[in-house]
Amino acid sequence: MNHIFDSSFVLHVSSFMKKILFIEDEPALQKTLSSAFTSEGFEVIQALDGETGVRLARQKKPDLLLLDLILPKMDGFEVLRQLQADPETKSIPVVVLTNLEGMGEVQKVIELGARDYLVKTNYKLDELVAKVKTSLNL
């Protein structure tokens, strides 16, 4: 899918780009979602497990975090807890993107400070991009 985006174009607009950190262990999902967001002018940072996610959130200071709940090394709930406990990452809005949809999970995640809770199969890519833009007030 990379042929759509000219690399010089990416470099050119990168300073205006909103940064999204996507924590998800499924490489295929990483790929599809990244390509959808980059084509909309976002920069996507990818993390394949919870620990890397927390580290990258501290290092790169993304504008928004997309977070899966079932993750290797550290699950999504713990990621949320650690980010909320750190004053430097506390203000980053987190949108949980998962296929778990028990009432318990939704409540727990919102209590832990997530901005939104989206069930993957219920959203088209376009709708997801629109949701993220609303969360970022774009």
Partner 1 sequence: MCYTENMFGFIKDGHVFGECKRSGLGLWECPPFLFIVMGFINICAMLGSYFLASRYTDEPMVAALVVVSVSVLILVIGNFIISGFNKIAEANLLKSEFISIVSHQLRSPLSIFKWTMDILIKESEGQKFNRDDGMYLNILKENTERMIQLVSLLLEANRIESNRLVLARNPIPLYKITEDMVNSVIWYAKAYNVEIELHPLLSPPDIIGDMDRVKMVVQNLIDNAIRYSRGKGKIDVYIKSEGRFLKWEIHDDGVGIPREQQKFIFQKFFRSDNAVKHQTQGSGLGLFIAKAVVEELGGEIGFKSEIDTGSTFWFTLPIKP
Residues that bind partner 1 (CB under 8 A): 1, 26, 28-29, 32-33, 35-36, 99-103, 120-121, 124-126
Whether 65 contacts 83, CB under 8 Å: yes
Which residues face 21 on adjacent strands? 45, 65
Closer residue to partner 1 in complex, CB, 85/103: 103
Quick check: helix, strand or coil at residue 64?
strand
Measured from the CB of residue 72, what is the shortest distance to partner 1 in angstroms?
A: 14
Dist CA 2 CA 92 (whole Å): 28
Closer residue to partner 1 in complex, CB, 30/89: 30
Measured from the CB of residue 31, what is the shortest distance to partner 1 in angstroms?
A: 8
